Amino acid sequence: MFNCMMTKELDLIYQELAYNLALKGKISCYPNPAVGCLIVKEGQIISLGYHKFAGTAHAERDAVEKLQQAYPDTWQEKIAHAHVYVTLEPCAHYGRTPPCANLLADCKVAKVTYLSADTTDKVNGKGVKILREAGVEVEFVPWQQCLNLNKDFFALQAQADLPFIKVKIGASLDSKIALPNGNSKWITSLQAREYVQALRWQSDAILTSAKTLIIDQAKYNVRYEQLPQEVKNYLAVKDLKQPKVVIFDNSFLLTGQEEIFKHHQSQNLIIVSQKEHPLANKIPELNFVVGYNSHQKQDLEKILQILKQEYALANVLVETGSSLTNFFLEQKLFSQLHYFMAPKILGSGVQALATQEKFTQLEQCLTLNLLYQINLNEDNLYLVYEQK
């Protein structure tokens, strides 16, 4: 009985360690899922790994390769009959790397415990089948945290009508994004701002308003030198692709002289307005979406549909002021909320979250579900939510 309890407790520890390994790769492995792997034999962790960047070794292969490097002559003996813990079902297809299910089968491991199912067509049980046919014991222990970590990956595999919308907020502990005088540099830490650069790098487009763009003199580009080191370790400068920028400008505030026009090619910019924009004659190379009021839910849905279907923008980051941010939240037109929280209390200032809805019952409020959190330096938190 005691040994059984100890085994279960150790299983939980190993599963938690595998999850934490997966979390380490989350910011850099896009567009692939984040996966962690632990190899255990006779109660000892003999190797571990995680997927760091698309095109590099998957978590299982990373762990095996580390074992090979540590024990070049005896690694096969060490891994034989081992127990592998992995956060996602081992893949079964040839992509930029060979299938992990075959690798583990060839290594003659005794058991594989996986913590979330891979429902994509290329896997979806095929990895389990390969392992079982090779005589490997396979155990599925569903961990909601592991599923939560890759919800964006699985959503982007589906053919939805609307883009996957990530709303980004960087705020103080009391939900302020600036002081009353507009000063906001910097509320969040350097590492938090590096993660924002990574979110931009992961996105097909950044969506903002002309007002925010002008006030902040924003460029809305990905600055390579400001990316997290985890990304720069594998991404070459020449391979950095800039996202498109979608600008809502019903009031015709843009003149063509703003910073963004100096840092993006015209064809990389999409201007959305209710009526024909004056810049259509001045800079015809720009893209225009005309005839929709972005302050009405029905029109906003149509705009997002156009961005997905006509411009192939599947993954969109909303990075804008509080008014448009809150409109997306109020209308529930978002997939995830990415909240960077700094341990500062501003007191008065510009409120990050201030919806116009006047609720009378708590049940009416927008309720969120925390998917995962990453602790950043200077006690900043990176919190990722979805609608409950």
The catalytic residue positions are: 60
Q: Is 201 annotated as a binding residue?
A: no
Read off the amino acid at residue 193: R
CB 350 within 8 A of CB 199: no
Q: Is 81 annotated as a binding residue?
A: no
The span from the CA of 371 to the CA of 337, in Å, is 10
Tokens of 184: 């906001």
Q: Is 7 annotated as a binding residue?
A: no
The span from the CA of 121 to the CA of 210, in Å, is 41
According to DSSP, residue 134 is labeled T
Q: Is 184 annotated as a binding residue?
A: yes
Q: 257-292 in b/e burial notation, b at 16+ Cβ within 10 A?
A: ebebbeebeeebbbbbbbeebebeeeeeebebbeeb
Residue 130, Cβ neighbours under 10 Å: how many?
Answer: 21
The span from the CA of 277 to the CA of 269, in Å, is 13
The span from the CA of 68 to the CA of 76, in Å, is 8
Q: Is 83 annotated as a binding residue?
A: no
Q: Is 143 annotated as a binding residue?
A: no
The span from the CA of 228 to the CA of 221, in Å, is 15
Q: Is 146 annotated as a binding residue?
A: no
Q: Is 58 annotated as a binding residue?
A: yes
Q: Is 323 annotated as a binding residue?
A: no
**Annotated binding site for Zn(2+): which residue ranges?**
58, 91, 100
**Annotated binding site: which residue ranges?**
58, 91, 100, 170, 184, 186, 200, 212, 216, 223, 319
**Annotated binding site for NADP(+): which residue ranges?**
170, 186, 212, 216
**Annotated binding site for substrate: which residue ranges?**
184, 200, 223, 319
